[in-house]
Amino acid sequence: MLMRILAVVLFLSGMLAAGAMSYSFGCKVSGRLGGPIRFEFYDESTKHSKTDIKSFTVSMRTEDDRWKAMWSILNGHDLTKPIEYGVTPPGFTTMIQPQKLISGRVYAASATDGHGGSASMTFGFDKNGKMTFPDSFDQ
């Protein structure tokens, strides 16, 4: 019985520690439809570039309010430059091949660093291909 209690206490302590270690980092996206779209990551406190990105996904909001992955890469390390949409950086593995991005849709980019950190942001494109940043998913 004592071993079960100890196991539960250790498990809960681990879960609390894992939750306490999660944090967010910054993500900046730039570009226009039909041209290169680049994603940069940075530490929000120091503003230094993050090079330890482990996974990255761009998803599209569908008409039935679900999310469909449009491109997904993972197992990265030592990122030396911004990620360009559709171009798998050295050291990463493509899990979902890039799909064509279109105007009038809302996209979400999300990344993890393998240390409990994550970043996400929403963006879209107007009818002229200019990047927009909707305040909500419903726009």
Domain ranges for the chain, please list them. Answer: 24-132
Distance in Å from the first CA to the final CA of the chain: 55
Q: Which tens digit of pLDDT belongs to each residue from 48-93? A: 999 999 999 999 999 999 999 999 999 987 888 999 999 999 999 9
- Is it the case that residue 38 has pLDDT exceeding 90? yes
Nearest 5°: CA angle at 31, between 108 and 66? 15
- 24-132: CATH topology is Immunoglobulin-like (2.60.40)
